[in-house]
């Protein structure tokens, strides 16, 4: 594998995890928004001209299909005639766990990027001698 290929793989992983963190932050910000459905995005491998590259990208955004909880609060402006409204299906514990996993994976890709860059610099230094 060429050095530039390993750099591209690392960068694609960092971009995918950054997209994942963006969705997690949106979910956390909307945890108390009535009717909000949790957003998720699966990763998919990048295919270039029918050839698998090994790179990844965040796939299309999907909405969590779990049922929205019905919350009883007759004073809420969105409450129906029974006093209920639909809450959000965001679970903050899951979002925090997803954020930590995405952060650690981002850091692993960053470390791989840095290692590849250092190896490339060392190789260039050896060739100059």
Q: What average pLDDT values come out for the chain (129 residues) when binned by 10 residues?
A: 79 93 96 95 88 89 94 94 95 96 94 88 83
For the chain, the domains span 3-119
According to the model, what pLDDT value does residue 128 have? 85
State the Cα–Cα distance between residues 15 and 22, nearest whole angstrom. 11
pLDDT score at 83: 95
- Give the residue among 22, 13, 26, 6 at the shortest CA–CA distance from 109: 13
pLDDT score at 123: 81
**What's the pTM?**
0.81
77 alpha-carbon distance from chain centroid: 33
Q: What is the pLDDT of residue 1?
A: 55
């Amino acid at each position: 594998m060429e050095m530039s290929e390993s750099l591209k793989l690392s960068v694609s992983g960092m971009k995918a995890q950054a997209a994942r963190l963006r969705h997690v932050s949106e979910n956390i910000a909307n945890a108390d928004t009535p009717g909000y459905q949790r957003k998720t995005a699966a990763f998919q491998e990048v295919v270039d001209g029918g050839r698998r590259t090994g790179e990844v990208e965040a796939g299309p955004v999907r909405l969590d299909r779990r049922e929205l909880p019905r919350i009883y609060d007759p004073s809420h402006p969105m409450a129906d005639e029974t006093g209920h409204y639909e809450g959000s299906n965001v679970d903050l514990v899951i979002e925090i766990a997803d954020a930590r996993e995405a952060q650690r994976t981002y850091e692993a890709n960053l470390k791989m990027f840095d290692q590849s860059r250092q190896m490339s610099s060392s190789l260039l230094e050896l060739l100059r001698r």
